[in-house]
Structure 1
Amino acid sequence: MIKKGLTLAVAVLLMVSSSFAQKGKTVTFTGTVKFPDTEKKYPIYLGKYVGEGFKRAFVAIDSTTLDAKNSFSFKVPADKPDFYQVRVYYFDRIDFWANKDNIHVNVRGIDTAKMKIKNPPYIYMENTSAENDVINDVNLVSYLNYQSMIAVGQEQYKAGLSKDTLWINHAKGGFDRINVDRDIRTKYLINKYKDQPSVLYALNGLSWKRDGELLMSTLDNLIKKYPWLTQAKAKKKEILDNMAQTAKIANGQKAPDFSFPDVNGKKWGPKDFKGKYLIIDFWASWCGPCRQEIPHLKEVYKKYKDKGLEILAVSVDAKEDAWKKAMSEERMTWPQINAKESKPVMASYLFSGIPYLVVVDKEGNIIEKNVRGESLDKALEKIFGK
Structure 2
Amino acid sequence: MKQTLILISLICFSTGNIMAQHTIEVKGKIKFIEPKMNKIEATRHEGTQKIVVAETPVNKDGTYKLTINVDKPQSLSLSYPWWQSVNIWVEDENLEVDFHGRDTAKIVIKNPPYVYIRGGKNNEVMNWINFERYRNYQQMIELYRELYNSKIHEDEKEEIRVASAIGYSDQENYRAHMRYICEHYADRTSVIAAINDLDEEKDAALIEKTLNTLEKSNPKVVANYRATAKKERDCELRMQIGQSIPEFEAYTPKGKKMNVQNFKGKVLVLDFWASWCGPCRQEVPNLKKAYEEFKNKNVEFLSVSVDTKKEDWIRALKEENMPWPQAQAPNGGRQVMDTYQFSGIPFILVIDQNGNLYRKNVRGQQIQEAICECLTGKPTQDKKKSQRIKAANMM
- The TM-score bracket by the shorter chain reads 0.7 to 0.9
Q: Which residue of 2 aligns with 1:20?
A: none
TM-score, with normalisation over the residues of structure 2? 0.73
Aligned partner (choices 28, 53, 56) of residue 59 of structure 1: 53
Does residue 146 (structure 1) correspond to residue 141 (structure 2)? The answer is no
Q: How many residues align?
A: 354
State which of 91, 108, 132 in structure 1 corresponds to 2:123.
132
The separation in 2 between residues aligned to 1:66 and 1:88, in whole angstroms, is 13
Larger deviation, residues 130-139 vs 200-209 = 200-209
- Larger helix proportion of the pair: 1
Show the 5 A alignment for 1:275-314.
275-314=265-304
Could you say which residue in structure 2 is the equivalent of 1:8? Answer: none
- Measured at CA, do residues 350 and 212 of structure 1 come closer, stay the same or move farther in structure 2, by a change above 3 Å? farther
Amino acid across the alignment from 1:49: R
In structure 1, give the amino acid aligned to 2:38.
Answer: Y
Q: 1:179-328 alignment to 2 at 5 Å? A: 179-180=170-171, 181-206=173-198, 208=200, 214-229=206-221, 232-328=222-318
Q: Structure 1 residues 267 and 107, CA, compared in 2 at 3 Å: closer, same or farther? A: same
Displacement of 1:31: 1.0
Q: What secondary structure, in the 3-state scheme, does the structure 2 residue paired with 1:307 have?
A: coil
Cα gap change, 1:190 to 1:155, in 2 (>3 Å): farther
How high is the TM-score relative to the length of structure 1?
0.74
Contact 1:29 1:102 in 2 (8 A): yes
The answer for the alignment partner of 1:33 in structure 2 is 30
Maintained 8 Å contact 1:261/1:337: yes
- In structure 2, the CA distance between the partners of 1:235 and 1:294, relative to structure 1 (3 Å rule), is farther
Query: C-alpha separation between the residues in 2 aligned to 1:85 and 1:367?
Result: 34
Instruction: Letter of the 2:219 partner, please give it.
Output: P
C-alpha separation in 2, matches of 1:219 and 1:212: 11
Give me the whole-angstrom Cα distance separating, in 1, the residues matched to 2:375 and 2:178: 43
Q: Deviation at 1:224?
A: 3.8
Q: Quick check: 1:382 aligned with 2:378?
A: no
Deviations 1:119-178 (A, max 9, x none): 45422112x34310121122222223333323212202444x24599x879967864771
Residue number in structure 2 paired with 1:49 = 44
Q: Highest relative contact order (Cα 8 Å, sep 6+), 1 or 2? A: 2
Please, which runs of 5 or more residues in structure 1 have no aligned partner? Answer: 1-22
Cα offset for 1:256? 1.1
Shift of 1:226: 1.6
SS of 1:306's equivalent in the other structure is coil
Tell me the C-alpha RMSD between the 2 structures.
Answer: 3.9
User: Contact conserved, 2:244 with 2:357, CA < 8 A, in 1?
Assistant: yes
Question: Does the 8 Å CA contact 2:272/2:348 hold for their aligned counterparts?
Answer: yes
